[in-house]
Homo-oligomer: A and B are copies of this chain.
């Protein structure tokens, strides 16, 4: 079973409007509401891959109940510790006339120490049955910045490898707890190492490999950097791999979550780094082609797998 942590889930609401008037009343032609947040997207992709999954997290209020019932309907097992605050919403307005989207992210509810402790209890219990854990997304207000560091440490003590996908202080603190895989994008990597990390289309990954190696030195066992349309760069003790997909057009929201799902799925199945990275890259590309975060079409995945380029450096 793969354990997926969702400390700050959301109800994602999307309004499609033909021509948005930003100073008046609009009547959306299409309205969608679905469970969201990075952890939930990772769990959905893992379910689509046939993996056994358990979501653990925090949820509260009517929005929290909406998440619980929607996940049950989608057949995604979830244990949310109940919180007194209201689970957040995100609101996206898709302006059909200008092909652009405005996104509004509510902050999460304020979590008390007792509420967080109840989550930690559920997490500790589930760790004993888990072959890997994914720690993904932002921390809600009230949860300490070292939360992921502690959760990675607990996983390591239980012999469970952890994939970490977060940013800022939470990432800097948790890297030293020896996560199996850290998955930053370029901006998150720059923030973690404290300096610019240039990436050029000439595909010379020297600067990125050097920055990722700083995170290895601090404790990460492997670092996978997401490079948008240029794919994934994995930097490990066994060498460096760059996997690049064929170009796809679409919606990049949730593509990083599909990559995280692909990486952890490859890890629990014992695949080689080249195979893990290729599959994760193809999943990311298939997710870009899909209209909704946390979903992909198998045909897009197969096509992306068939068109990969993978480069390997034993020693960079």
Q: Is the CB of B22 within 8 A of A91?
A: no
A25 CA to B26 CA, complexed, in Å: 20
A24 shortest CB reach to chain B, Å: 7
Q: How many copies does the complex hold?
A: 2
User: Interface code A35-77, partner B: CB below 8 Å = 1, 0 otherwise?
Assistant: 0000000000000000000000000011101100100000000
Interface residues on chain A, number (Cβ under 8 Å) = 34
A219 at the interface (CB under 8 A from B): no
- Please indicate the chain B residues that have their CB under 8 angstroms from the CB of A25 in the complex: 103, 105
A28 at the interface (CB under 8 A from B): yes
User: Interface code A77-111, partner B: CB below 8 Å = 1, 0 otherwise?
Assistant: 00000000010010101010010111111110000
Q: Is the CB of A102 within 8 A of B62?
A: no
Residue of B at shortest CB range from A86? B33
User: Interface code A287-298, partner B: CB below 8 Å = 1, 0 otherwise?
Assistant: 000000000000
Q: Is the CB of B66 within 8 A of A103?
A: no
A17 at the interface (CB under 8 A from B): yes
Q: A31-B107, A62-B62 are in contact. Are A102 and B23 (CB under 8 A)?
A: yes
- Please indicate the chain B residues that have their CB under 8 angstroms from the CB of A98 in the complex: 23
A300 CA to B139 CA, complexed, in Å: 43
Q: Is the CB of A21 within 8 A of B102?
A: yes
A145 at the interface (CB under 8 A from B): no
A15 at the interface (CB under 8 A from B): yes
Q: Is the CB of B17 within 8 A of A104?
A: yes
Q: Is the CB of A104 within 8 A of B93?
A: yes
A308 at the interface (CB under 8 A from B): no
Residue of B at shortest CB range from A17? B104
Residue of B at shortest CB range from A67? B62
A98 shortest CB reach to chain B, Å: 8
A129 at the interface (CB under 8 A from B): no
10 contacts between A and B (CB under 8 A): A13-B89, A13-B91, A15-B104, A15-B106, A22-B100, A23-B100, A28-B106, A33-B86, A91-B91, A93-B104
| The 8 residue pairs across chains A and B that have the minimum distance between CB atoms | A62-B66, A23-B100, A22-B102, A25-B103, A62-B62, A31-B106, A26-B104, A15-B104
Q: A24-B102, A28-B106 are in contact. List 10 more A-B contacts (CB 8 A).
A: A20-B22, A23-B100, A24-B103, A26-B103, A26-B104, A27-B104, A62-B62, A62-B63, A62-B69, A91-B91
